[in-house]
Each structure stands twice: as structure tokens, then as C-alpha cells.
Chain A
Amino acid sequence: MNLFLWGALPYIAFTFLIVGTLVRFFYFERNWTTKSSEFLEKKQLRIANPLFHFGLLCVIGGHVVGVLIPKTWTAAIGINDHLYHEGALYMGAVAGIIFIVGFLLLMKRRFTVPAMKVNTSGLDKWLYLFLTLAIFSGMAGTLLNASGFFDYRVSIGPWFRSLLSFMPDPSLMEGVPFMFKFHMLAWMVVAIIFPFSRLVHCLSVPLNYLTRPFIVYRKRDEK
């Protein structure tokens, strides 16, 4: 079971994430969209949406530092365990609160404004369920571990990096507290849903807009 959860399931999730996204992009691009609902409801979105996305960016940044960067690197620039933990806890809590407040405001909007029904598909509802589980388990894990007894940088971090280097080491996940394990499972489900959902819009950040000329000309497809 452990082998499946921490050695196989992550790869299943990655496969869905990457292959599914590529298939969607090349064969189903016509429905690749942000699925913006500002047209249907604007007032509540004004605060909630920027808050949510700003919080999200902070949280992603925190995960990159906490999971992808090995402990030895931060130690090398003189950040000891205590300092790291304090920083991660406080900054993480602030980012997490912004993120969660934004998320809750968005969910309130989505499930109370009548016009939003037309913008919420069945898949969206599943997505929101698993996003909720992922977000709250992550937040709960951080808060329950406020004392710092559990160091994810010697367990979850190396485990995740072992996945990326195609030498999975499920044994690293032994002894990880339940809330963190749950968080792992939640993100894997979200990764599986990702290519089918509206989440794909995060890959469309239009940065090349900054460099392209204003007016675009295009020849007709001679198909």
C-alpha cells in the first residue's frame, strides 16, 4: 500500500497532469479558457479574486522553497533550522490566511449568487471539493506543526525530489503525520483533475503580451 501511495500514485498523477494537459492543448484547445465569471457577477469578485490569486502565488513560492530546495542549500547561506521554521511558519500562515480568505469569499460567491450556477459545472464542484481538502489540510498541517516537531524538509522534501529524479523512495514518507499525508493525497487528486478542469488557465499566463507588437496580423488558413 505504501509503495502504491508514495511510489506509484504520484506518477499516475504526473502522467495525467502532463499527458492530459498536452492532449487538451493540442486537441481540445477550443475549450481552454480561464472560465471567467466577471461578466455574470462583478461586485464580490473585486476583492475575492485578486486576494485569492495573490495568496496563491505566495503559497506556491513557499512550497517551492520548502519542497524543492534542499535543506543543505539554505543551511549553506546561514539559515538554521529554527530561523527557517519561524520564517516558514509566520510567512506561510499569513500567505495561507490571505489565500484561504480569498478562497472562501470565492466559494461563497460561487454557491450563493444565482447567476453563478451557469458557470459551475459538475467537474467544477469536484474540483472545488478537492481544492478545499488540499488547501485546508495544508493549512492544518502547518498550524498543527507550529512547534516544529516534524521536519518535512527531511521527509516530504527529499521524497518529492526523489520522485522528480525518477528514483522514488517511498520509505521517506514513513512517520509523516496524517495531515501531511492527507495533503499529499489531496494534491495528487487535484493533479489528476487538472487537465480536465479550468485550472489549465494557470499555464496561460500571457507574459509574451509584454513583448509582442500591439496589432497582430495573420494570414488566412488555407486549409
Chain B
Amino acid sequence: MKIKAQVSMVLNLDKCLGCHTCSITCKNTWTNREGAEYMYFNNVETRPGVGYPRNWEDQEKWKGGWTLDNSGKLALSTGSKTNRLMKLFFHPEQPELKDYFEPWTYDYETLIHGGRKNNQPVARPRSLVTKQKMEVTWGPNWDDDLAGGQHARSDVNLTKMGQDIVFDYEEVFMRYLPRLCNHCLNPACVAACPSGAIYKRDEDGVVLVSQDVCRGWRHCVPSCPYKKIFYNWETNKAEKCVFCYPRLENGLPQICAETCVGRMRYVGVVFYDMDKVEAMAATKNEQDIYENTLDLILDPHDPEVIKAARAEGISEAWIKAAQKSPVYKLVKEWGVALPLHPEYRTLPMVWYVPPLSPILQRVTSDVYLPDAHEMRVPVQYLANLFTAGNTEILARTLQRVLDMREYMRRRETGDGPIEHKVDLTEDQMYGMYKLLALSKYNDRFVIPSDVKVSREGRLEMQHNRGFACPTGGCQ
């Protein structure tokens, strides 16, 4: 057993209101510079929909993530190492700018300095890449809040459902899906990087791109199945979500989590067994990957685990944080948080509590809470997102959250205990209520800060944030 610590995040989709505050604060912090205009380290997608970049889930096209080869071993979907070195000169699966959107601004100057004219002055759109006038035909969240029509129809998770999907008025559904880098345990981007520039940080599992070592071979971009590595057209290097590591090092949550208006993001530490990662990612049946990933995550109260953690040099502060971790509770103890697309075999460490939704009108009943299968968002659709299509696990997960609600209602009304069989104890359900419903700051974020990093010289990096090197000579 070789224990590693991982900073991990849970997003409670039940409470996401699609306000994009996370995207905006993230953008203002990290990607409002030349070459990065089109990047959203964090974005919020309307589902069903195509997402960002367009149809990123269509792995037939992008070949992201891992597959099993004939002998059952893990292999990158983009091809073997030698195979991919042949693609250095041209990578057929690399997305282009237009797969995201061409960033633009407006000629605001003409409004002020346009001179005297017969017509109202107009601020025309101008590309932030070519600086030429352009026609805006696609942009970030172009299909925001639509969840219907052609964009929704080409959602891979819907087409996978097979049956004819009818967007009847009484059957349409819509949910938000905030996405960021998953800081996977088995990251395909790291494996695909020819230069070895991308690495998983030993101390906290944050996946980072060394801006010095990156050579711009850009193999990480197609290999990440979540399309969360971006190519900077100005510096010609790869960039990605850094999990706000400077904040983490100071015991603060990521800016997206900190500013989340719905208070639906949870950040904490989990311990996992590094020796088993490869075997679990190579699980034969893709529907079993989720439960095998849970086996990787170790109980931080187990004396054996604590001993092994100390042997690895993990500090007491981290062990304590792991024991109080909201992520551990949601993911492992209560089992209400699921990974996004576990079938990509990267073992993502950003988790989602699947959303409840209102009861379907056509189900005529007078129950207070519907069954998971009677809800508006089809269980199969959510299962395609979070459990590689396994509706049983998904329904079970939703049921636990429903049970918690029913428990809390009965607690208030004095109706006695829940009549059907429940998976969790009353204490656990009350704990879940406190974490999911009350969601206090100190319960949501349990981040140890015991780093001995000198902050000298950090201030001068404030302008370029360690990415760009405008004057050269950065080391």
C-alpha cells in the first residue's frame, strides 16, 4: 500500500443555478490574457446540450481517455507511444479554435470617435485573435438555457439512449453541469505528453503543466477526454486549470468554489492507494469502474491507513483534514457523489451529486417525494453522464438524497421513521442534511495549509501568473 493525498472537489448539482459566477471569477483570475481568451478552465454547460468545446464527449471523434487493448491492458485511445510520435507533425484529433469559439471584442471606439454621421454608430465585433472584423456565429454558452432543438439533440448522452427522444413540452428537462479539470488519478493528458511537462503533484495530486518544459507538441489536448487542456496560441504552450494551487497552499478553496453562489462546491482531502490505480482504471466492465474507484479511496480513520500515511511523510495536518473531509463523506461514506464519465478510465477526482428533479406530470400520485425513476430528468440520461450507463447505481444514489429529504421532513412533522428500507443511518442522513442543505463554509472547505513555501517573488508574478513570459528571462 502506497498512500497518496489528493485534493478533491464535489459539486452538488442539485443546487447549481447556472449563474456562471464560477466561470467568471476563474476567467478573471487565470485566463484574461492574450492567447487565453478562448479558455474557460471552468465552464458551466446546459444539459442536454453540446457543451464546450462542441461535442467534447464524442470520443469517436476526439479519441480522448483510455481504452483497453486486446490483452486487457490500459492504452491511450489516441494510439501507442510510437504511433503518436508519428503524429507530432499533424495530430488528426486535435481540436481547432473554431471547436471552442473565436473570441471577440467590439469596436467601442467608433461609438465615441466615429465622427458625425447620419446613422447611429455601431460597435462591430472584432476578433481577438486576428484583430479583423468578424461575424459572430458561436460563443461561450451559445446554447445556454436552450436544452432543446438541434444542440440538445446532438448531445452524445442522449443519442446513446437509443430510443427516439421526443422533446415534448411536458417531457423536456434541463440541468446545469459545471466542469473543470478533474485532476484525475490516471490522467490521460499526463500520459500523452511527449515532453513529460505535465505532472501530478506529489503532495496534493494537482495536475499541472510545467510552462518551462512544455514544447507545444499538444498531444495532451486531444488526449484529455474532458477537453480541459488548452493550447495557448500566443505562448504556444499548453495550459489547464491549476486547481488554484496558490490558494490551496494557503488553505483557501479554489476561486470557483469560494465564489459559488449556490454554495454547492465542497473541497477536501482524500487518501488513495497509488499501487492499485492502474489495475482499477483497467477494470474490464466500464460500469464497475466507479465502484472500484471507491475501493481506492482509503478510510482516514483506519489506524493502518494513518500509519501508512505517516510512513509516506504525510503530515498530521493533512491526516486531520482527511478525517474531516467533506469529500470523503460525500463520495465514500454516503456514496452520493459520482464521477463524470467514469468510462474514460482516467479516474476523475471531481465528483458530482446527481440532481433531483420535479416529478413528471404524467405520473399521477400524491406522494411528497417521487421515486428516482419518476423524475423529470431521465435516469438513463444521468447514468450516461455519471455511471457509464448503469441506471441502478444512479437510482440508488438519487434515492439516498431523497431519503435524506424524507428523513428531515419526518423529523419535523413527527411522522415517524421512513417506512421503506434506507441505506444510511439517521446520523448519516442528518450529517448529509447539514453538509448539503446548510452548507457552512467551514464544513464545505477543509483544506490543510502547512506548506513551507517562501512567498518571496510571488508578487512580481502577479501580472503574468506564471504562464506568459512577456519580457523573457522567466525561470
Cα–Cα distance between A150 and B237 once the two chains are bound (Å)? 46
Contact A219 B236, CB 8 Å, known A118-B130, A210-B81:
no
Asked if B352 is at the interface of the complex by the 8 Å CB criterion, the answer is: no
Cα–Cα, bound, A117→B203 (Å)? 42
Q: Which of B179-201 contact A (CB under 8 A)?
A: 186-187, 190-191, 193-196, 198-201
Binds B, one of A27-35, A66-74, A136-144, A179-187: A27-35
| B59 at the binding interface (Cβ < 8 Å) | no
Q: Check: A204 CB closer than 8 A to any chain B CB.
A: yes
In the complex, the chain A residue whose C-beta lies closest to that of B34 is A118
The contact size tier of chain A is 35 or more
Min CB–CB distance B456 → chain A (angstroms): 9
Whether A31 contacts B469 by the Cβ 8 Å rule is yes
- Structural contact, A219 and B203, CB atoms closer than 8 A: yes
Are B85 and A209 in touch, CB under 8 angstroms? yes
Across the interface, do A222 and B195 meet the contact criterion of CB distance under 8 Å? no
Whether A34 lies near B216 (C-beta < 8 A) is yes
Contact indicator B217/A36 (Cβ below 8 Å)? yes
**Which of chain A's residues 108-160 have a Cβ closer than 8 Å to chain B?**
114-115, 117-119
Choose among A41, A45, A204 the residue that contacts B195 (Cβ–Cβ < 8 A).
Answer: A204
Interface size on B, residues (CB 8 A): 53
Chain B interface mostly helix, strand, loop or mixed? loop
Task: Flag whether B17 is at the interface (Cβ < 8 A).
Answer: no
Flag whether B218 is at the interface (Cβ < 8 A).
yes
Cβ A30 vs Cβ B231 within 8 A: no
A34 contact set on B, CB distance < 8 A: 215-217, 236
* Contact present for B202 and A201 (CB under 8 Å): no
Interface residues of B (CB under 8 A from A): 81-82, 85, 88-92, 94-97, 129-130, 132, 186-187, 190-191, 193-196, 198-203, 211-218, 231, 233-237, 277, 451-454, 469, 472-475
Given A40-B233, A45-B90, A214-B191, 13 more contacts at CB 8 Å? Answer: A33-B236, A38-B91, A39-B94, A39-B95, A39-B96, A50-B90, A114-B130, A114-B132, A208-B196, A209-B81, A210-B81, A216-B196, A220-B451
The 25 listed contacts between A and B (C-beta, < 8 Å) are A31-B469, A31-B472, A33-B235, A34-B216, A35-B236, A36-B231, A38-B91, A38-B218, A39-B95, A40-B97, A53-B89, A114-B132, A115-B97, A118-B130, A206-B88, A206-B215, A209-B195, A212-B196, A215-B277, A216-B193, A216-B196, A216-B199, A217-B199, A219-B201, A222-B453
